[in-house]
Amino acid sequence: MLVKTCYFHQHIKYYPSSGSLVFDMLIKYFLTYKNIAFLLIIISTTCTVSASTAAIQSEINFADINKYANFSNAAYQAQSKIQDANIFKNHTLTRYSHIPGFNISYFLATDDIAKTQIIAVRGTANIENAFVDAALELTTDKRTGIRLHNGFSQTAQAIYVEIKPLLKTNYVIDTTGHSLGGAVALILAMYLDTDHFNVGQIVTFGQPKITNVAGANHFQHLNIIRVVTPKDLVPLVPPFDPVDLNNLDIYWHPGKEVILLPESTYAVIEGVTSMMRAIKFTQEPLSENNLRHHQMSLYLEMIAKNIPSARLVPYENSFNLFNLFDGQKK
């Protein structure tokens, strides 16, 4: 049977341009028939996932998640305001820097009492330019030996060169960031682990993918928590590297994915179940609400509601192979 049209395309073709270049680019990702076909290959060859996937039994400490969320949010502030952000407690601001040419900044905070350091990376001030200008192909990273998103790894390398002399080998080092800052924060943690620093917690918010299956598996031992909202598209891209389609060299997330759900509930998934979340966006129309779900302010709001009474629930995966297409013959 030949496929005539995709359900997602039937809806989205009537949707006017959002006026946001990044949003329109994300739509194009999910409209590509090759992407859908590729996902079906992964599903059929990797595993069979039931319609209702049981949640990974992992309780999340949302007070800790809130701490990292506030550090990530502070990374968007000017240097003069970061120290006054009321998040440091025993931390002191060790370094703040803006990386020329990458339009990204970060700060390093040190707690000499707890012997910890935290690196918080700000997402680029113009996310649209980042998706346009950053090279999307996966390239082999000389430091880690794995394949990484070229644009994100270049940014991480620039930060790492600056910050490495300030890092303490006998301290636990955490990394965090939102959006593209989360992607860079995760790569920084990989560099730290490769150089035998004591890597603690990596917590990212709305982070896009940075590596492939082999790269994700190589660093699966790290304590990675990726916090997402259900309708945030950014964690679902890039879907794969078109250059390496024939080699099945697809983008893949490492670590646990914590999905913030309504009514102070959340789900925890990983691996192929996390990958399959992208298929849901081929089955429903998109709107600018998807962009709102990427905003750090919404992450902070939903996390704050989960601190006193968060409840872990199974992730309900409504994927239906036959719903991807309208079933009509050409």
Domains of the chain: 7-324 (3.40.50.1820)
Per residue of the chain (330 residues), give pLDDT as tens: 333 333 233 333 333 344 444 545 554 554 444 444 444 444 444 443 333 334 344 689 999 999 999 999 999 998 888 877 778 888 999 999 998 877 789 999 999 999 999 999 998 655 555 554 445 678 999 999 999 988 899 999 999 999 999 999 999 999 999 999 999 999 999 999 999 999 999 999 999 999 988 999 999 999 999 999 998 888 887 654 444 445 556 788 999 999 999 999 999 998 888 877 766 665 566 677 778 888 999 999 999 999 988 999 998 765 554 454 444 444
- Residue 6's closest CA among 303, 314, 282, 266? 282
Reported as half-sphere exposure (CB side, CA atoms, 13 A), residue 83 has a value of: 8
| CA–CA distance, 24 with 27 (Å, rounded to integer) | 5
Strand partners for 22 = none
What integer pLDDT is reported at residue 174 of this predicted model? 98
Give the relative orientation of helices 150-163 and 180-194 as an angle to the nearest 10 degrees: 60
What are the residue ranges of helices labelled H in 112-179? 127-133, 150-163
| Contact (CB, 8 A) for 279 and 223 | no
Q: What is the pLDDT of residues 72-118, one digit of tens each?
A: 999 999 888 887 777 888 899 999 999 887 778 999 999 999 999 99
- Rounded to 5 degrees, φ, ψ at 161 are -60, -40
Question: Could you tell me the pTM of the whole model?
Answer: 0.80
Question: Residue 4 in 3-state DSSP?
Answer: coil
Task: List, as one string, the DSSP characters of 21-42.
Answer: HHHHHHHHHHH-HHHHHHHHHH
What integer pLDDT is reported at residue 127 of this predicted model? 54
